[in-house]
Amino acid sequence: MARLPAPPVRFLLHHPAHLVACGFGSGLSPWAPGTAGTAFAWLSYPFLRLYLGSDLSFAIFLLLAFALGVSVCRIAGRALGIIDHGAIVWDEIVPFWLVLLFVPAELLWQLAAFLWFRFYDILKPQPARFFDTQVKNGFGVMMDDLVAAGYTILTIAIFKAFLPF
């Protein structure tokens, strides 16, 4: 499948949903926009945690960000003509924030989580593949990456349980 070109920067300014769905511009990366969106999530996570404080506050924020994502991904996808256009990366950002909530704060654990998340997001094991191929709306766009986040959290938990450090 050929990679679609990124929309122009001005696309971000046409509607607030476009700005959010495209990860505040990170989804416009000409190379691996999903990876760029995930990197944006990783870089912004410490600031969000500092601002939001407790795990409960952050979990509520994630629920709201997921619900917002269903809407903004639908709006941006319709405007782009493809519901899960590569420039739409909010679906990577919110689930990776969830992953980081469960991963130790050490850089190597977070790097491992980043790599595993990208692996599962690209591989799309079931039920992620179902959401990606069969649920063609904002909910499907968000859910396939939420499944990738679940696989990532499980993988990190298994590694953490069996590694001596």
Q: Is residue 86 part of a domain?
A: yes
Q: Which are the contacts of 87, defined by CB distance < 8 A and separation ≥ 6?
A: 4, 6, 7, 11, 21, 22, 27, 28, 33, 76, 80
Q: Is residue 138 part of a domain?
A: yes
Q: Is residue 4 part of a domain?
A: no
Q: Is the pLDDT of residue 165 over 70?
A: no
Count of structural domains within the chain: 1
The CA–CA distances, whole Å, from 139 to 3, 26, 27, 123 equal 22, 21, 19, 19
Q: Is residue 6 part of a domain?
A: no
pLDDT, tens digit, for every residue of 48-77?
A: 999 998 999 999 999 999 999 999 999 999
**What is the spatial distance between Cα 2 and Cα 4, in angstroms, rounded to a whole number?**
6
**What is the spatial distance between Cα 25 and Cα 128, in angstroms, rounded to a whole number?**
25
The CA–CA distances, whole Å, from 18 to 21, 35, 74, 85 equal 5, 18, 10, 12
Q: What pLDDT was estimated at residue 1?
A: 45
Determine the structural domain holding residue 88 and report its residue range.
11-162
Q: What pLDDT was estimated at residue 35?
A: 97
Q: 5 or 68: which carries more pLDDT confidence?
A: 68
Contact 37, 23 (CB under 8 A): yes
